[in-house]
Amino acid sequence: MAGDRLASSDVGSRVNADHATAAPGACRLSVDSGVGRARRHARFGALGALVAVVAIVTSMTTAGCGGDPPRAPTPLRPIDEAHAASIIAHALRAVGFTAEKGRSIHLAVPNGTEMRELKLDVAAKGKQWGIAYITTTDGEQLGDVLPRSRDPERFTVVHGAGDGEDATRAVLLFAGDYMEDDLAGDDHTQTSIAAEEKLDVAARKIAREALDANWP
């Protein structure tokens, strides 16, 4: 099943990691010390030269030239599905639609007669379209009825294949594109706000496109 594409201005997720740096002179002082010991050992021929090399390497290793070890990337998780649905519903209402839940459409399995149900997290009341927030669990259940590839610059639109669903459509928003961290405090608040704003912008853009194109 090939999905239509609806332009998107901001898709994808991004992860930042801070890395600590060592004090500028720390590594230099350690190496200088190692070189001093190396010169003393080098007077004793080949064995002394080997000991000299070990002295330099040991000095650099024990001094920790890189400073504190880099911090591991902060774990990220998608916006919770229920919260995502409330953000999408708010966006639809802001554009002028009445949002409702509890609707679904059916998608055909490629090269087969089987149908799979796609839940619309939010639908426009009186219209035949809605938005589905696709979580990892959804992806596993729907399998190959979802498009195998996605254009990062466009939304994916799928059409219903069940009885009487010819005009129905669902725009897919993938949870992995709306990530926030697992931390607490101000840092978490900032990443949550960014993810929520990104989802809100996407839902509003979909609703405006539906309004301008007069989707049934």
**Residue 159 pLDDT:** 94
- Report in angstroms the alpha-carbon separations of 202 from 1, 199, 216: 23, 5, 20
Confidence label for 181 from pLDDT (cuts 50, 70 and 90): confident
Mean pLDDT of all residues belonging to the chain: 77
Q: What is the pLDDT of residues 188-198, one digit of tens each?
A: 677 889 999 99
- Contacts of residue 143, Cβ cutoff 8 Å, sequence gap at least 6: 109, 116
Q: Would you call 118 helix, strand, or coil by DSSP? A: strand
Kindly list the domain boundaries of the chain, sorted by start residue.
24-63, 75-212
Which of these, 188, 199, 181, 186, lies nearest to 76 by C-alpha position?
181
For residues 205 and 7, give the distance between their C-alpha atoms in angstroms, rounded to a whole number. 9
> Between 91 and 73, where is the model more confident?
91
Which of these, 71, 99, 97, lies nearest to 183 by C-alpha position?
71
Confidence label for 184 from pLDDT (cuts 50, 70 and 90): low
Most distant CA pair in the chain, distance: 92
Beta pairing class for 169-174 and 129-134: parallel
Q: Which residues pair with 133 in a beta bridge?
A: 173
Work out the number of other CB atoms within 10 angstroms of the CB of residue 52. 20
Confidence label for 107 from pLDDT (cuts 50, 70 and 90): very high
User: Sheet harboring 154-159: ordered strands across?
Assistant: 4-7, 154-159, 169-174, 129-134, 122-124, 99-100
CA atoms within 13 A on the CB side of 163: 0
